């Protein structure tokens, strides 16, 4: 999955150092669920890469910008009666912020989810202060479904969660 500057590709063990370098950043961690460790070391990166290499179908990808690994994006396919839905998640290394990378990566993985994985619905939960992520979703046609008031606790703060979705217009 690629565009002119952005490429979504399988992560390789050779990405371990760059992934750890990018991910070991509190400004990244503050926007993600607590399952994403901080500090983030090479052991975390290697564990993640080995885990996603086994996915069938592929759901998590490295994001390259002009040939440099700059982040990760993925779909979490839901189970049971939700099996045609997926949650989208992504992060971009701070030195790559403000370049439109997330917006393009969301477009590419949404197309993959709808066309290749035959999903009907993709959704995202965004922390109340992450307006850049909200804008990237909106630029891709994701609609705000609602706000879950005081639904999250991150870094000892109670936060609202903004929920976005996009449907596969079959």
Q: For each of the chain's 170 residues, which pLDDT tens digit applies?
A: 777 899 999 999 999 999 999 999 999 999 999 999 999 999 999 999 999 999 999 999 999 999 999 999 999 999 999 999 999 999 999 999 999 999 999 999 999 999 999 999 999 999 999 999 999 999 999 999 999 999 999 999 999 999 999 999 86
Q: What architecture is domain 6-167?
A: 3-Layer(aba) Sandwich (3.40)
Q: In this structure, what are the phi and psi dihedrals at residue 157, rounded to the nearest 5 degrees? A: -115, 140
pTM equals 0.96
Residues 6+ apart with CB under 8 A from 147: 128, 160, 161, 162, 163
Q: Whose CA is closest to 123, among 89, 98, 157, 83? A: 89
Domain ranges of the chain: 6-167
């Amino acid at each position: 999955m690629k565009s002119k500057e952005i490429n979504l590709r399988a992560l390789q063990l050779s990405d371990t150092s760059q992934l750890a370098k990018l991910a070991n950043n509190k400004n990244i961690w503050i926007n993600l669920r607590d399952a994403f460790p901080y500090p983030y070391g090479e052991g975390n990166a290697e564990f993640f890469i080995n885990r996603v290499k086994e996915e069938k179908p592929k759901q998590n990808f490295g994001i390259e910008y002009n040939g440099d690994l700059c982040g990760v994006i993925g779909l979490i396919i839901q189970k049971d009666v939700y099996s045609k839905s997926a949650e989208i998640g992504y992060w971009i290394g701070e030195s790559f912020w403000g370049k439109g990378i997330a917006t393009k990566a969301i477009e590419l993985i949404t197309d993959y989810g709808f066309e290749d994985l035959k999903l009907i619905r993709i959704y995202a939960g965004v922390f109340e202060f992450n307006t850049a992520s909200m804008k990237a979703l909106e630029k891709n046609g994701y609609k705000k479904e609602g706000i879950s008031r005081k639904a999250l606790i991150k870094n000892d703060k109670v936060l609202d969660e903004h929920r976005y979705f996009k449907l596969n217009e079959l």
